[in-house]
Structure 1
Amino acid sequence: MACLYPVRQPTSSGGQPSKSTTTTTTASAATEYTFQAIPSLDLELDMGPAFAGQTSCFDRPDSHSSPPGCLGLIPMPPLAVSAPLTAASWNFVSRLIATHLHHAMNIIRDAPRLFVLENRVPWSHPLLYHDHMPRSMEEAMSSCALYLAKNSANGPIILRTVDARLRDLLAAPEPSTPLECIAHVQALLLYNIIGIFDGDINARATVEKTQVQLQRAAKRLLAFITFDPPQAAVPDALYAARAFWEAWVFMESARRTFLISLYFMHLYYVIVGTPSRHCDERKYLNRYWTISASLWQATDPQEFRRAWQTNHFFLARVGSFSELLAEAHAEDIDDFSQIFLSSLMGIDEFRNWMDSRSQSVEVGAATVAPAQIMQTV
């Protein structure tokens, strides 16, 4: 089955989260969350023969329910690809952004600034490029720094410069090593984030032109990712502990980078209403990432080992958060996890959940309520 999305006609042509060793199963105590539907969308996918007879997380179900553990986009009766989006459909998209996607969009929008100032983004650990940063990311960092300096006087020149560096990235040989592959995807993401959130029409057009390349880069990265639940304990010996931690830093960054790439592509299609050209990779949205702010924010092997041994962590899959919602605390939820949780639950309900799971959360030197975190991102 082909992917069908509504598009505007030109006017001229009329898993399921896994528990840590210290948690207990309470899946029945919480509610499952799915993305709300956009009316009149047929999101049937061509899953290929290997998935024959299986239900995709984006397939059109017979009823308003989604398969267990799936990201359920519940579509309405199909609409021809050539049909224009109605005013009502655009109003629904606007409401969906306001109620479910706005917080995630703010976090994603801030990625170029975070990368320049703190050498990190929610899907890339700050120590990922500690020893070596591939050229693609060096160019992306300088492009982000340029973009942060953009104003009304230098805007056109800076956008041309950023676009030229993106063209250089697209013309470069395909990366081959794991670090080069993850850097390539992350660089493409940063250029796309600049393009989709900039008001310049040419910058927006750049996003459309690079969607296929972003999908290919994400698929290439998938060859280096494992999604097996962790079994081993962090070694006691410092050298071995450091090697374990560095391997985890890469793998968790790769998992998050892969997932945010698919999320970003879907977000783009939702916003602009254009058809996806290659959507079969979306079946991988049920792959997990680790939810544990203490693991992600550890700054040395000892701190990481303590967090691994003493703290709860969850292996969360998109659309299946029962155990997480029943057992996690607001302190466990980092920015990357906020992207998916706020999108799936809805921003208000996510804020209420954060409030209910903690009286206060430390942010830098200040202590603020979780709701304030939502308002300041």
Structure 2
Amino acid sequence: MSTRTAKSRSRQKSCTICAEGKRRCNRQTPQCSRCSERGLRCTYLNSPRMKTRPSTVDSASPLSDIRSDMDTDFEISFARVSSHPDMWTDSSTLAASRHFDRSPSLPTMPNFCPAIFFPDIVRPDQWSTEKLLRNINSFPELFARSGATPFLHPQLYGSDMPTAMQDAFAVTAAYFSRTPETEALTVRVLENKSKSLMKQLQKISSLRELLASVQALLIFQIIQLFQGTSRQRNLAEQDMEMLRSWTTRLQIQGEDLVNPNTWQDWIFLESIRRTVIISVLLDSLYWSLKFGHCTQAKILSMLPVTPVSELWECPTSTDWPGSIPTRSQTLLYGDFSMAWKEGRVTGELDEFQKFLLVPCVGANYKDLLAD
């Protein structure tokens, strides 16, 4: 970093989000108005909190004992959940062109900023944690076998798939077809591609490349955090702050995409929304497993999504029902959760809607969310 750049950063008064987006910041603490309205993590470069917060966990710190305990916890968790079939990995769900049954009627309501109804710290119950873990952990293999995930539409990139997604597909295909003889090689390739992606993120300029890179990093992170060794988990932890930063950038730039005019435009916008939600859910799940609580419930509640799978599952524009979705079909995540608990979502839930509700409603509703 040049001396001039370092000096300019030392004089930076805006929060990091406003500074990166070149937006005006009112410098309120602990959150500026813009970050508060959007449910974003607000930090100031020169605040004592930023100066004292380490970017990675030192191996000699007290958290190293927690990490050792967490290795055992993960082994127990996976042993517990391995006997249960996962809703995403059933053979009937792997075809990219599969259709869900018609989605239930969604509530039409104004977005009322549900963050005020969600606590700062949430301690998810065991059922919710294990259910969310099984679902998210299945995404890389689903991608390797079908070329799509609940946050990556099969027609998102068409025949011109960005390099980041090509690498992610090649790595996952190799990883889930590995043998004892190729295990070490496959892991090295995974680590090298993850490092390469982190470097490429610094040079990305287009929103399309940013989306592809965040999606690829999500897939790598899921494998390393939940399926890898302690070494891979430690490496992935070091990249989590970068994933948060680039997820926030994706969210901010995606805000400018409104009123899509075509099916392809809607797929792109909805892929951004879903990718942001999955990224924040992944972050929340990992730290919930490690420390027993989640601090991002308010952020999650403010994220928009269109939980209408009949739109998402259409393989071509000619099969797409109706016209371009209206804004009323896109809800804040918190609004959707609260509306369902209050009985304002009628009809049978599809699998993506169940996935969204699992971390919000808990074990009290597990019979209603059963696969």
Number of residue pairs matched? 274
Matched with 1:163 is 191
Alpha carbons 1:26, 1:323 under 8 Å: kept: no
> 1:225 Cα deviation (Å)?
1.2
Tell me what 1:216 maps to.
Answer: 245
Paired residue for 1:322, among 313, 321, 338?
A: 338
Instruction: Confirm or deny: 8 A CA contact 1:294 1:332 kept in the other structure.
Output: no
Aligned equivalent of 2:350: 333
Cα offsets for 1:158-202 (capped at 9, x unmatched): 111110111111122421111101001001100100011114111
Alignment partner of 1:225 is 2:254? yes
Going from structure 1 to structure 2, the CA distance change for 1:74 and 1:167 (only over 3 Å counts) comes to closer
Q: Structure 1: how far apart are the matches of 2:256 and 2:349?
A: 20
Deviations along 1:76-107, whole A, 9 cap, x unmatched?
xxxxxxxxxxxxxxxxx7xx463212222111
Q: Is the 8 A contact 1:147 1:158 kept in 2?
A: yes
Q: 1:348 to 1:125 in 2, by over 3 A?
A: farther
Kindly provide the amino acid, as one letter, of the partner of residue 159 in structure 1: V
**TM-score computed with the length of structure 2 as normaliser:** 0.63
Which residue identity lines up with residue 277 of structure 2 in the other structure?
Answer: L
Alpha-carbon distance, 1:316 to partner: 3.8
Aligned counterpart, 1:249: 267
CA distance change for structure 1 residues 331 and 125 in 2, over 3 Å: closer, same or farther? Answer: farther
Gaps spanning 5+ residues in structure 2: where? 1-29, 31-48, 54-60, 67-102
2:284 to 266, 285, 297: 266
Which whole-Å deviations, capped at 9, do the CAs of 1:30-80 have from their partners, x for residues lacking one? Answer: xxxxxxxxxxxxxxxxxxxxxxxxx994xxxxxxxxx23x4x3446xxxxx
In structure 2, the partner of 1:305 is 321
Check the 8 A contact 1:184/1:217 in 2, yes or no.
no
The answer on 1:288 being equivalent to 2:298 is no
For the residue of structure 2 that corresponds to 1:295, the secondary structure is helix
CA, structure 1 residues 23+214, in 2 after alignment: closer, same or farther (shift >3 Å)?
closer
The 1-side partners of 2:365 and 2:65 are apart by 39
RMSD: 3.8
| Matched AA of 2:274 | R
User: Contact 2:144 / 2:172 at 8 angstroms: preserved in 1?
Assistant: yes
Cα distance in 2, alignment partners of residues 227 and 137 from structure 1: 24
- How far is the alpha carbon of 1:209 from its aligned partner? 1.1
1:260 Cα deviation after fit: 1.3
Letter in 1 for 2:250: L
Structure 2 residue 204 is the aligned partner of structure 1 residue 175: yes
CA distance in 2 between partners of 1:275 and 1:101 (Å): 10
Question: Which residue is equivalent to 1:195?
Answer: 224
CA distance in structure 2 between the aligned counterparts of 1:350 and 1:304, rounded to whole angstroms: 32
Give the distance between the partners of 1:171 and 1:141, measured in 2 at CA.
Answer: 19
Gaps of 5+ in 1: 13-19, 28-54, 58-66, 76-92, 233-242, 355-370
Letter in 2 for 1:202: R
Distance 1:193 1:159 in 2: 14
- Counterpart for residue 345 of structure 1: 361
Question: Is it true that 1:150 corresponds to 2:168 in the alignment?
Answer: no
Q: Is the 8 A contact 1:124 1:253 kept in 2?
A: yes
Contact 1:192 1:206 in 2 (8 A): no
1:235 corresponds to: none
Distance 1:346 1:228, change over 3 A: farther
Q: For 2:109 and 2:366, how far apart are their aligned partners in 1?
A: 19
Identity %, equivalent residues: 21
Match for residue 89 of structure 1? none
> What amino acid sits opposite 1:141 in the alignment?
F
By how many angstroms is 1:346 displaced?
1.5
Equivalent pair of 1:229/1:315 in contact (CA under 8 Å): no
Indicate the residue corresponding to 2:169 in structure 1: 141
Instruction: Find the aligned partners of 1:24 and 1:107 in 2 and give their Cα distance.
Output: 25
User: Which residue is 1:121 aligned to?
Assistant: 149
Whole-angstrom distance in 2 between the partners of 1:137 and 1:309:
27
Change (3 A) 1:204 1:282: farther
Once residues 334 and 209 of structure 2 are traced to their aligned partners in structure 1, the CA distance between those partners, rounded to angstroms, is 26
